[in-house]
Amino acid sequence: MGLKWTLHGREFTNCNCAYGCPCQFNALPTHGNCAAVVGIQIDSGHHGDTPLDGLRIAGVFSWPGAIHEGGGEVLPIVDRRADPAQREALLRIMSGQDTAPGATIFNVFAATFVKAHEPLFSDIEFEVDVDKRRARMRVPGHVEQRGEPIVNPVTGKEHRARIDIPDGFEYTLAEMGRGWSKTSGPIALEFNDTYGQFCQLHLCQDGIVR
């Protein structure tokens, strides 16, 4: 299966679905198609002997229908600070290699792509606070993104809701929020006040580390 790896960090995902995202419940996407912008801060991790601590990765994704129906495309984005060994390691993890079949979201998604654009090596400005449900990401010239809490339409107070997936391949518990994203380049997207997901990631070649 390849080298063993771990990735422990924090993620913010903004997709084009309504709050809650039907995909989380094995239902069809809100508008019939799926697109998303994802940022990940790696707090600690390794791929074999290659350390990944402190690096960031991101991705822009688009599918013509539901994810499981395939036909998707992806733009992988890797932290410019990564050295050649780290770049190769991150791209192997992000493309689902060195991973048990179906064990991680990277591996599952990889099976649904018909086009993987050339990786972008760039500065990734990314801040995420899972508990406060706030995030901001900027990839100069390519991505502008922010995440915020859902707000009660009557009281204006922040609304907290979570999704618990005990047997998931991405997270076990995610905080729900909302997000705004705009991308340019090979996959041009724009979301305004749509599904936002904040979560801790702790993955390895066999799936979620428990």
- Distance between CA atoms of 179 and 149, rounded to whole angstroms? 9
Eight-class DSSP state of 3: -
Residue 1 has pLDDT above 80, yes or no: no
* 104-135 pLDDT per residue, tens: 999 999 999 999 999 999 999 999 999 999 99
pTM (two decimals): 0.95
Counting runs of H as helices and runs of E as strands, what totals does the chain give? 2, 16
Measured in residues, the chain has a length of 210
Strands 72-79 and 120-122: parallel
Q: Across-strand partners of 56? A: 41
Q: Mean pLDDT, to the nearest integer, of 62-77?
A: 97
CA angle, 105 as apex, 26 and 107 as ends, to 5°? 120
CA distances in angstroms from 185 to 60, 74, 117, 139, 182, listed in the order given: 10, 11, 10, 11, 11
Domains of the chain in start order, with CATH, are 5-208 (2.40.400)
Could you give the percent of the chain with pLDDT greater than 90? Answer: 98
* 19-60 pLDDT per residue, tens: 999 999 999 999 999 999 999 999 999 999 999 999 999 999
* 75-97 pLDDT per residue, tens: 999 999 999 999 999 999 999 99
One-letter amino acid for residue 172 of the chain: T
Residue spans of alpha helices (H) in 21-147:
84-94, 105-110
Q: Across-strand partners of 61? A: 36, 74
- Distance between CA atoms of 192 and 209, rounded to whole angstroms? 33
- Distance between CA atoms of 64 and 74, rounded to whole angstroms? 12
By CB neighbour count within 10 A (0-12 exposed, 13-18 middle, 19+ buried), where does 34 fall? buried
- How is residue 44 written in tokens? 């600690």
* 156-191 pLDDT per residue, tens: 999 999 999 999 999 999 999 999 999 999 999 999
Residue 2 has pLDDT above 90, yes or no: no
Structural contact between residues 32 and 16, judged by C-beta atoms closer than 8 angstroms: no
CA distances in angstroms from 134 to 41, 47, 137, 150, 208, listed in the order given: 14, 29, 11, 10, 23
